[in-house]
Amino acid sequence: MKNETRAPKKLNNFLTANVIACCIAGTSAIAFAQVANPAQNNPAQNPDQNNPGPALPALPATPSIDTVPMIVSLQPVTIKESYATDFRSEHQQVSSGWLMVIRGDSRILAPRALAEPLLLASGTGADGSVWIESVEWFNHGFISGYRVCFIPSTAQEKGGADRTAQGLRVWFGSPKLPESVDAKALQSELKEADRVGIVAGVTVKVEGSAPKVLANRDELITTTNALIARWAPDESQDGASTVPAVPANK
Amino acid sequence: MTCRPLPLQVVIALASSAMLSVAAQGACPGDINGDLRVDAADLSTLLSNWGGSGTADLNSDGYVDGADLTVLVSLWGQICSPPQPTTEIRLACFPLTIAPYASFVQTFIAGTTVTIAVDPGLTSIQVGATADFFVVAARTTAQWGANDLLTDVRGAAQPITFASGGISENRFTVTGGQTLSGDGGLSVGRGYDLVIDMDRNGRFSVGDLIDGGDDRAGLWISRDPTATGPLAVTTLSSYTAVGATAGFTLARLWYPTNVASMAPCPLVVISHGNGHLYTWYDYLGSHLASWGFIVISHQNNTVPGIETSSTTTLQHTNAIIAQQSTVASGAINGKIDASRISWIGHSRGGEGIVRGYDRIFDGTYTPTGYGLSNIKFLCPISPTDFLGVNSSNPHAANFMLLWGAADGDVSGTPTSSVAWSFDLAERSVGFRNTVYVHGADHNDFNCCGTNDFVGPTGTAILNAGAQAVAKAFILAGIKYHIEGETAMKEFMWRPSTTLRPTAVVATTTLVKELVPPASSNVKSIDTFQTQTSTTLSSCGGTVTSTVANLSEALSRDTDATYTWSTTNPHNGSSRATATDTGRMIAWDWNSAQNMQWAIPASLGDVSAMDFIEVRVGQGTRHPNTVTLNGGATFSIVLRDAAGIEVRVSSSAQGEAVNRPYQRTGDGTGTGWQNELRTIRLRLRDFQSGGTGINLAQIVAVRIEVGGTAGSATGRFILDDLQFTKE
């Protein structure tokens, strides 16, 4: 099994930033990548109503080693007030996990109404077992190339072993609604990932410290919003900045 | 002695033969109590009112006195004849070049030519006679009873002279029709009644013809529903909804600037699709607010799926009602009419609003500040169908589906029923209509999504085209369902060739279905649901046919390709998952053929109905459809108990059954999914020219194709053959 994170073979035109790929060495490590200003890679959407934004690309088959995203940053997090994740049908309570930014294949990051590939993460538990989880994401990243995510850690509430980021794998699984995915489906995804050869990334030196402590999901959202504003500003939903207050239409 | 037959009591014979009485207005002088006799009862009334005023003031001098007694005595013993009826008929129409030569309608876009027609076969007009045609501000039945004076809004009546011949010889362009005002304030249009004053006495009187003598306006001049409404709009770029899922709390608000001086406004909630932003629907929010609605567009939790999307719709609806005293500094406080709510959703948000409605219906979610009955209108735009019949079901809600035929996302592909928006429409058991828009893609309905257009070069209608459609039809739907503007209904079924919002380009093909809910206004001939045999209709009548390859089955393409196959007779049908129940029939022809339904006697009296209608579409990629390569026509024949048969062409609606959108993919051949449109033929058309058919005793309905009846070849998908009332 190759210990390496694969970058997408076919980066889209927007993904030309000089990313230093980095992956995870330990549970408390923070992955960090120096990346060119993402705004430079974010062409403005065409304001011409007659020529709307970039074309919707066809969705490639997943899972595939060709579409494994690059981990740009990873931040362990603990959340004092747990919340129920919407990215699993069981809606487990979440009180820890990893904030993550990935850079991916625009064909997969493109938003779609139909089922999008699940974003999945797998690593090793404290007891050496392999865990898999449905990753939450907060933007799509089609224009910017960057997706802000959170890997929820749900094992403790189920009585399982503490999860670590050792041997972390992140990949795009089969197209499904995250809210429809349960533990059984995740195990199937894991088997399929193994079958197609998705492996953990190379270990690189990371900057790190203790887990970031957040009060609750609201604070998690505030944190992810800040990351979106940085990495995918086109998807920043600061509505107040997009429309002048109180315009009249006539 | 007989009193003068003054036209002061008007009995209106509706076209359907129903009779409608209008209040008496003293048709018989001296007859104070209205019993058509001048007798002791009237004298008693006069004496009891002595010195006062009122109906006993027979000489109208303001007093009941000896002069009135003199009048009464002079008329003593008179017996008056009952008043003669005036006739309620349809006059407003657009002309046809084929029989019945006029299609009678109500709604016209302001600025367009208005025509009236008189059918000599159904009226007693005298060739060579001249009458005065009046366009009068619309009156209710009671108002006509109170005021028979004809006042033409154009300043003067229009003389018309009847000619020998039929309808085509007795069509008249309404002078000044193009300048009739459609300004109805917050109503999209303004109503008028049309009167032909046969005796030219300037009053609505015996023998006159009227279109609109009932409470319905005979003519409705509609402003362009794509145009901005009469109200200035204030936009609050964003506010935070309390109680919404973290990360999905922002929403944008539009409201009439002068809302403080208005009655509470209906609420419209817009729920975006996956990967979309709540800031992408300004065109729609501003448009609806300018017509008198309070509108929000909210962040929508679509990535996990439909359940989460529905939750944010529900939460934001709760929140805006609860927070109206604080949002926008309280500008809308007390101004949200939470009893009249519309939900509009795009893509996953479209399925989300249906799911939200279903959750309330099922009792698994309890909203605050509103309930199921307060949601008056659901309008999904290009919705997904992830959850299926048990979870994404609009039940009996008023329902409108908008969908682009060039959608590259929720595409209608035969490979996945998740992409079948029509599923949701077919599940509706309420009032439903669909508008399938050729050349529109998924993200044309917002400002800023990806370009997912898939279709023939040169057919894209782009954002402007699709959004014009959305503005017009959503406004029409809301005004119809929320505010009772009945004339807006015609936008939902009439072809663009006869009724087109101004900003919708004339070359844009809109394929419309309208299906009313089961009620006393519907007499169903065949739903193709309860009887699975092709020789028996759902109403219990015998069905016979000479058509080829007849199949009645679930409306579902079963082989994951749109390539035509004889083993997949419902190829191209994308309207039912495997667990849905919607069935239709399909058949084809290469010569004169027909399918006939016997009508049981219990259903045979359709004299009170207005239309016979059917949903019909061409079978995509079928060799006959390919050969036809254009619009398909057919005829409907009615037969009465006396054996009189009358045939009317489907083209009497003004447009053929269109060729499927010429999109390729998902197999070989050209043509995308099967598109159904409602063809409604007015029953009156079967009487046109005095055919003599008895609509009270219809015994059979026949659809004819080929030969002189319609297109020489083709393949049809059909459903919901029925008689309906306006």
- Here the tokens at position B655 are 């447009």
**Collapsed DSSP state (helix, strand, coil) of residue B422:** helix
Decide if A114 and B444 are in contact by the 8 Å CB cutoff: no
CB contact residues (below 8 A), chain A span 59-98, against chain B: 83, 86-87
Confidence band, pLDDT 50/70/90 cuts, at residue A203: low
A214–chain B nearest CA distance, Å: 14
The series of mean pLDDT values per 10 residues for chain B, 726 residues long, is 31 32 47 81 90 83 88 84 68 93 95 96 90 97 91 98 95 97 96 96 93 94 97 97 96 98 98 95 98 98 98 98 98 98 98 98 98 98 98 98 97 97 98 98 94 95 96 98 95 94 95 95 95 93 97 96 97 96 97 98 96 98 98 98 96 90 97 97 93 97 97 98 96
Which is more confident, A19 or B381? Answer: B381
Confidence band, pLDDT 50/70/90 cuts, at residue A166: confident
Q: Say which CATH class B522-724 falls into.
A: mainly beta
How far is A248 from B628, CA to CA, in rounded Å?
51
pTM attached to this predicted model: 0.87
Tens of pLDDT along A185-199?
999 999 999 999 998
> Which among B277, B344, B282 has a CA at the least distance from the CA of B313?
B344
* Residue whose pair of structure tokens reads 């037969």 in the numeric block: B639
Which is more confident, B696 or A16? Answer: B696
Residue B177: phi, psi to the nearest 5? -60, -30
Best to test chain A binding among B271, B274, B447, B461 (most A CBs inside 10 Å): B274
> Which among A12, A3, A6 has a CA at the least distance from the CA of A69?
A6
DSSP character string of B638-658: EEETT--EEEEEGGGGSS-BP
Residue B449 sits at the chain A interface (C-beta within 8 Å): yes
pLDDT average, residue stretch A17-31: 33
CA angle B531/B536/B538 to nearest 5° reads 45
Residue B670 sits at the chain A interface (C-beta within 8 Å): no
- Helix ranges (H only) for chain A are 106-109, 183-196, 217-231
Best to test chain A binding among B236, B452, B471 (most A CBs inside 10 Å): B452
Residue B487: phi, psi to the nearest 5? -65, -20
Cβ distance A132 to A190 under 8 Å?
Answer: yes
Q: What is the CATH number of domain B233-515?
A: 3.40.50.1820
Decide if A111 and B416 are in contact by the 8 Å CB cutoff: no
* Residue whose pair of structure tokens reads 């339904």 in the numeric block: B597
Determine the pLDDT at residue B22.
32
Decide if A111 and B449 are in contact by the 8 Å CB cutoff: yes
Name A207's Cβ contacts closer than 8 Å, sequence gap at least 6. Answer: A30, A32
Task: Decide if pLDDT at A27 tops 60.
Answer: no
How far is A168 from A68, CA to CA, in rounded Å?
12
Residue B424: phi, psi to the nearest 5? -65, -40
3-state secondary structure B107-124: EEECCCCCEEECCCCCCC
How far is B277 from B92, CA to CA, in rounded Å?
45
Which is more confident, A135 or A31? Answer: A135
Determine the pLDDT at residue A208.
60
What ipTM was estimated for this complex? 0.83
Name A205's Cβ contacts closer than 8 Å, sequence gap at least 6. Answer: A22, A25
> Which among B466, B425, B430, B428 has a CA at the least distance from the CA of B445?
B466
Q: What is the CATH number of domain B11-74?
A: 1.10.1330.10
Confidence band, pLDDT 50/70/90 cuts, at residue A10: very low
- Here the tokens at position A153 are 């850690």
Strand ordering across the sheet containing A70-84: A136-137, A146-153, A93-103, A70-84, A212-214
Q: Which residues of B touch A50 (CB under 8 A)?
A: 462-464
